[in-house]
Amino acid sequence: MLGSPAGLPRSAIITAGTIDPRVGAALGSTVQSGNFSYRVEDTTTGGFASVISQKVLGYTDPNIFFAWKAVLLGAHGVSDAATMKITLTDNTSGLVLISRDYNAADSGTGVDARFSTSGGNYYTPQWQIEQLAIDASLSGHDFTLSVLAADCQPTGHWGYVYLDGFGAAPPVAGVPEPASLALVGLGLAGLLGFSRRKKA
C-alpha cells in the first residue's frame, strides 16, 4: 500500500457513529449497514488519489448490491477538480455494467441530483444503493468493483468516497452484514494511493 509522503495511509476503515469532518451532520451516517464502512482517500488536501477494488469469481447469486456516499470540494474545471469514479465490471465479457463518474467543477456540471451543497462541498446526503441483477447471461461471471477518489490536481481541494457493502443482499441501515466486515479485508488487500501531481 502506498501512502502520503509522510507514510500515512490515505484511506481508512470507518466505524459506525463517525461524523464526517467536512460536511458534518448534513452528510448523515458514514456507515450504511453494520459497524464499518471504508473511506476511499483522506479528508484533507494534497493532490492525491486512492483506488480500492474487489473481485468476485464465478458469481451466481441473483443480485449484486453496494452503497456509496461522496464528498467533493468544488473548484476548478472538469479536468482538474476533485473527482470520484465507481465501476462494476464484468471481467468475463469486459463490459462495464455500472459506472458513476462525478467531479466537483465549480460550474456544478460535474454532479447530478444525487448531490447537495454545503460550504462549497458537493455531497450525497443519502446512501446511493446500486444493484445489478444477475440474469442467465451474467451468471457465473467474474466481477470487479472499483472505487477511485481524488483530490483536485492543484492540491487545494479534497475528494473522498464512503463505500459500504458488496454482496448479494441489499444493505439495510442498522443491520449487520458480512459484506460490511468484508470491507476490512477489501481495504487491506486492494488499496492503492498515488499522487495526481506526478501523473499530470
- Does residue 10 carry a pLDDT above 70? yes
- Does residue 55 carry a pLDDT above 80? yes
**What is the predicted pLDDT for the residue at 166?**
92
Contact 45, 190 (CB under 8 A): no
pLDDT > 70: what percent of the chain? 82
**What is the predicted pLDDT for the residue at 173?**
67
For 140-178, the pLDDT digits (tens) are 999 999 999 999 999 999 999 999 999 999 877 654 444
- Does residue 183 carry a pLDDT above 70? no
CATH number of 12-199: 2.60.120
For 90-123, the pLDDT digits (tens) are 999 999 999 999 999 999 999 999 999 999 999 9
For 138-150, the pLDDT digits (tens) are 999 999 999 999 9
**What is the predicted pLDDT for the residue at 82?**
97
pLDDT > 90: what percent of the chain? 78
Domain spans in the chain, listed from the N-terminal domain onward: 12-199
- Tell me the CA end-to-end span of the chain in Å, nearest whole number: 21
Average per-residue pLDDT for the chain: 87
